[in-house]
Amino acid sequence: MTAGGAAAALGARIERAAALNAIAEVDTAALVREGAPSADGAPFVHVKDNIAVRGLQWTAGTPLFAGVRARRDAAAVRLLREAGASFPLKTTLHELAFGVTGANGWTGAIANPHAPGRVAGGSSGGGAAALAVGLGDLALVTDTGGSARIPAAFCGVIGFRPSTGRYPADGMIALTPSRDTIGLMAHDLRRIVRADAILAGETAALEPRDRPVRIGIATEAVLGPMEPDVTDAYRRCVALVVAAGHSVVPVDLAPILAIDESCGFAIALHETQASLRASTPALTGRPFEDLLAAVATPDVAHLLALAAGGEAVTAARYADAIGREWPGLRRAYAALFADEIDALLLPTTPVTAPLIGGGDSIALNGEQAPTFPTLTRFTRADSMAGLPSISLPFGRDDRGLPIGMMLSAARHADAMLLALAGDLMALDGFPAAG
């Protein structure tokens, strides 16, 4: 290595050490520190701790899995490693990836670097928090119902959920196979485009689109109550889209959201307990009941207990949800994109990052609103349908908290969605990531 290269590598190590110190200062509990950053300039990827990295711990943020270490890389890790990435760190998460705030009674709540008394989001909050303080080039995470996009929105980075099935899914401690996927976060969209191409086996490209597109926007009735700064940001984003020459098409999402409301929770609850019943003994040699007893986060313990009993979602109810309603949801989205729009634009969340410790409710315009349904209002249905979706940073509210705007597209239109995201982020007036 040349003297200049050695100096650059040393500078990179110093910057990363400073980022680690920043994380400690804001008490994010964002990282499981293992290994050391690469000194050769390789892309620095941190990995959510429900994804396997050979030789590193693989805990899913839950105490029963504390002694588990991965014997081999998940396929997504292997593909990125073969392309030159370095994997020195694992990031923590909402326990078992079963929540959206970043709560974790074992490792501690993941705090937002922009405001340490507020959540980083979940379940992939550790990855978003690490990127927000400048640590890493890319975060490899998971997304079941918003886990890559909600933390990205709260922490001011880009969060991408691909079409379900686009990336290899082995090496994940899974929850809901019908909608689990590896996801990506970064400050720079080009990092996501490159990683997407590697994981999907395609050629990386971020070419500007050569024609205007039809972008769907939600009616006020579907948007529901939102914080005023989020509402203003959405209006400004829509105005930018129009000024760029794209068509804006109001769409009625109510029928689609109603289908998801009917089937999504039943599918998630049933599949999660089935997945963890299989993975717990495979990883630890101990039964699922031991996991139930050891879970350290109240909301996760409640949901798992609800699922484990079987009364909340009977076999017949699950069969109807997965066999009839879920295909209906996918058909409804497919018709929407085929007949009316090319992409859908929504706020990622109706609020900016809420306070840590709110439990089952958060403040929304001076009133209490249920935490999970509120934070996932715009991310649940497209996740259930397996659509690609990306959260883009779009400025901050009057308290300095990041706001995210979300684009979604038809299944398997990932490349188009990423190109459109690049077009929008390049527009004059589109706030820079940060």
Based on the number of CB atoms within 10 Å of its own CB, is 50 exposed (0-12), middle (13-18) or buried (19 or more)?
buried
For residues 222 and 253, the answer to whether their CB atoms sit within 8 Å is yes
Q: Is 147 a catalytic residue?
A: yes
Handedness of CA 355, 356, 358, 359 (dihedral sign): positive
The string of DSSP letters for 71-118 reads SS--HHHHHHHHTT-EEEEEE--SGGG--SS---TTT---EETTEEEE
Alpha-helical runs (H) found in 321-379 = 326-339, 371-375
> What is the rounded CA–CA span in Å between residue 226 and residue 344?
18
Of these residues, 48, 90, 163, 279, which one is catalytic? Answer: 48
Task: Give CA 399 to chain center in angstroms.
Answer: 23
> What is the rounded CA–CA span in Å between residue 303 and residue 388?
27
DSSP letter (8 states) at residue 426: T
Of these residues, 38, 86, 124, 147, which one is catalytic? Answer: 147
Q: Which two tokens stand for residue 143?
A: 């997304």
Backbone angles phi, psi at 369, to 5 degrees: -125, 150
> What is the rounded CA–CA span in Å between residue 434 and residue 429?
15
Q: Is 90 a catalytic residue?
A: no
Task: Give CA 147 to chain center in angstroms.
Answer: 3
| The three-state (H, E, C) secondary structure of 259-283, written as one string | HHHHHHHHHHHHHHHHHHHHHHHHH
Q: What count of other Cβ atoms lies within 10 Å of the Cβ of residue 19?
A: 21
Of these residues, 123, 275, 389, 391, which one is catalytic? Answer: 123
For residues 35 and 89, the answer to whether their CB atoms sit within 8 Å is yes
Q: Is 408 a catalytic residue?
A: no
The amino acid at 381: A
So which residues are the catalytic ones? 48, 123, 147
